[in-house]
Structure formats: C-alpha cells, structure tokens
Amino acid sequence: MYLKNFCIKNFRAIKETSFTFDKGLNIIIGENNSGKTAIIDALRICFSYGNQWRDIYISKEDFYIDAENAESENTPIEFDLIFEIEKEEEVGIFYDLLVQNDDKQELQMHFYYYLQEIKGTEKVKYKIWGGENEGQQITPDVLDLINFVYLSPLRDAVDALRPVRWNRLGELFANIVVDKKGKTIDKKYREELADKVTSFYKDFKDIEIKGDLKKLEFNY
C-alpha cells in the first residue's frame, strides 16, 4: 500500500489543505514560510503514532488561530490519511483500517486533536481510529507494519551525503535494512539497496566511494 491522500485541518498556519500522492517519489515545493515544514511534521506525527520513542508531539501552539479573529476558540486539529491497496493480502493485514466504498476498498487512518480544560489548565487530548467509524481501534501489530524514516533538512548536501560513517544516507540505510525489533532484513534486499545508494553517489563527481557498501555495517 502507499499513502494516496492526506488532509490537514487547523494545524499551525494551515486552515485546511489536502494532497494527492503518487506511488514512488513525491516532492513538495513552495516558498519559505508557505507551510512545507508543517506538512512534513503532520506526516511525522501520524506515522510515529504507536512508536515507543517519538520526537514530535501536538502542543497547544500547534492549533490554528484565525488571524482575523484572534479571540476565537481553537478548532480541533484533524489529519486524515487514505492509503491505496496494492495487494489483496493487505486487506486482511490492515483490516483495522479497511473501508468499503462502493466497489472499491481503501485503508484509512484518522487523527483528531482537541483542547480540554482540566483543573484550569488546557490539555491536548486526542482520538485516533482506523476505517470510517470513530472508535475503531488500531492494534499495535498494525501500527508496527507502518514504517517511516525521517531525515532532517541538510545545510550542506554534498558534505552530509559524503559516504562516511554517520552520514545521512547511512542513517537512511540503517533504518531501512533493520526492522523495529532490530532484526536485519534479508540479505538480497540489503544488497539491492546498497546498489541503489552506490548508483546515487556516482552522480556526484567530487565524491569518492571507498569500499563496498554491501559490506558496510551502520551502527547508531
């Protein structure tokens, strides 16, 4: 499966927007302060849900404020994700997210954040569900199957992508070839990925590759 549609409501400077993604590479382009970081952070919040360790959360400052009516109450933040089913077995694997629309099936995840006053202090509360019915729980086993890797922005791309220990592609490589339980993914897949990384470096004339990436071990 892959993420096909993503809708954001009332998050930071975004009142409401939606995106349609294609399978494979997608690029978000925009001017400074146009909301690109907010979009990426919204995806990080959604995909990191259920992980034991998370480095990003919804805070009170993330709720959208109407500039023309600053006294208005904060409206709930909503993230809606719709995934395209590619294989029949995904229907059973991701049953918690399954929705039947006429003759088509799809997978959905919904995130709803709101502020609630508790003993004079506003606290961020949330509801997360799969499918189209609020309250449909998503089991931890299903969440474990939704994997992602976030790489922070680069100030010096050539230096950060240089094939040395701790480089950015090494970080990506380590996260992809090792699953959440620390088990190494099969050797064939690891070698195919190493070939792609090596091919990527060949496009940079001022970067010299030393050694065989297939034999490298990335430890973090």
Q: Based on the fold, state whether residues 33 and 103 are members of the same structural domain.
A: yes
Categorize the per-residue pLDDT at 218 as very low, low, confident or very high, splitting at 50, 70 and 90.
Answer: very low
Q: Given its phi and psi angles, is residue 205 left (phi above 0), alpha (psi -120 to 50 degrees) or beta? A: alpha
Q: With beta carbons less than 8 A apart as the criterion, state whether 188 and 181 touch.
A: no
Q: With beta carbons less than 8 A apart as the criterion, state whether 80 and 7 touch.
A: yes
Asked whether residue 45 carries a pLDDT value surpassing 60, the answer given is: yes
Categorize the per-residue pLDDT at 201 as very low, low, confident or very high, splitting at 50, 70 and 90.
Answer: low
pLDDT in tens, 129-163: 999 999 999 999 999 888 888 888 877 767 776 66
Instruction: Out of 64-73, 113-122, 142-151, 157-166, pick the least confident.
Output: 157-166
Tokens 């990003």 label which residue?
56
Categorize the per-residue pLDDT at 34 as very low, low, confident or very high, splitting at 50, 70 and 90.
Answer: confident
With respect to residue 150, please indicate whether it lies within any of the assigned structural domains: no
Of 91, 117, 144, the last residue of a domain is 144
Give the torsion through C-alpha atoms of 157, 6, 86, 109, to 10 deg: 120
With respect to residue 42, please indicate whether it lies within any of the assigned structural domains: yes
Q: Based on the fold, state whether residues 197 and 137 are members of the same structural domain.
A: no
Q: Based on the fold, state whether residues 182 and 138 are members of the same structural domain.
A: no
Q: Based on the fold, state whether residues 190 and 100 are members of the same structural domain.
A: no
Q: How far apart are CA 103 and CA 85, in angstroms?
A: 13
pLDDT averaged over every residue in the chain:
83
Q: Based on the fold, state whether residues 114 and 208 are members of the same structural domain.
A: no
Which CATH number do you get for residue 81?
3.40.50
With respect to residue 98, please indicate whether it lies within any of the assigned structural domains: yes
Of 82, 114, 144, the last residue of a domain is 144
- Average pLDDT value for residue range 6-29: 94
The secondary structure of residue 102, as a DSSP letter, is T
Tokens 């009170």 label which residue?
60
Asked whether residue 58 carries a pLDDT value surpassing 90, the answer given is: yes
With respect to residue 70, please indicate whether it lies within any of the assigned structural domains: yes
Domain count of the chain?
Answer: 2
Q: How many residues in the chain?
A: 220
For the chain, state the CA radius of gyration.
Answer: 20
With respect to residue 152, please indicate whether it lies within any of the assigned structural domains: no
What pLDDT sits at residue 204?
54
Q: Based on the fold, state whether residues 28 and 108 are members of the same structural domain.
A: yes
Among residues 150, 29, 13, the alpha carbon closest in space to that of 77 is found at 13
Asked whether residue 170 carries a pLDDT value surpassing 80, the answer given is: no
Q: What is the pTM of this model?
A: 0.78
Q: Based on the fold, state whether residues 131 and 206 are members of the same structural domain.
A: no
Give residue 199's domain range: 157-215
With respect to residue 220, please indicate whether it lies within any of the assigned structural domains: no
Query: 3-class DSSP state for residue 116?
Result: strand
The secondary structure of residue 92, as a DSSP letter, is H
Q: Based on the fold, state whether residues 173 and 79 are members of the same structural domain.
A: no
Of 144, 170, 190, the last residue of a domain is 144
Instruction: Out of 3-12, 92-101, 141-150, pick the least confident.
Output: 141-150
Q: Based on the fold, state whether residues 88 and 28 are members of the same structural domain.
A: yes
- Average pLDDT value for residue range 165-193: 63
Asked whether residue 185 carries a pLDDT value surpassing 90, the answer given is: no
